[in-house]
Amino acid sequence: MPFISVEIGKLTLEQKEALIKAYTEATVEIAKVPPEAVLMFINEHELENIGLGGISLAEKFGKKK
């Protein structure tokens, strides 16, 4: 039943698999639930769609299109 959602920038396939593995293992160990009960969604965002301190991360990191 635990549902985990992550909002983040672009990741590689390997990073996504590693996050899924790590979060699931931690949840199983800490919340005492079976692995198959842990559902997780990774939401990748363009930097221009993420704001921090009032400006977009595209602007903050000089990556505006």
Q: Which residues would be at the binding site for a copy of itself (CB under 8 A)?
A: 1-9, 11, 13, 15-31, 35-36, 38-45, 48-57, 59, 64-65
Quote the least distance from Cβ 60 to a copy of itself, whole Å. 9
Quote the least distance from Cβ 54 to a copy of itself, whole Å. 4
Residue 13: C-alpha distances to residues 10, 21, 30, 65 (Å)? 10, 12, 26, 24
Quote the least distance from Cβ 28 to a copy of itself, whole Å. 8
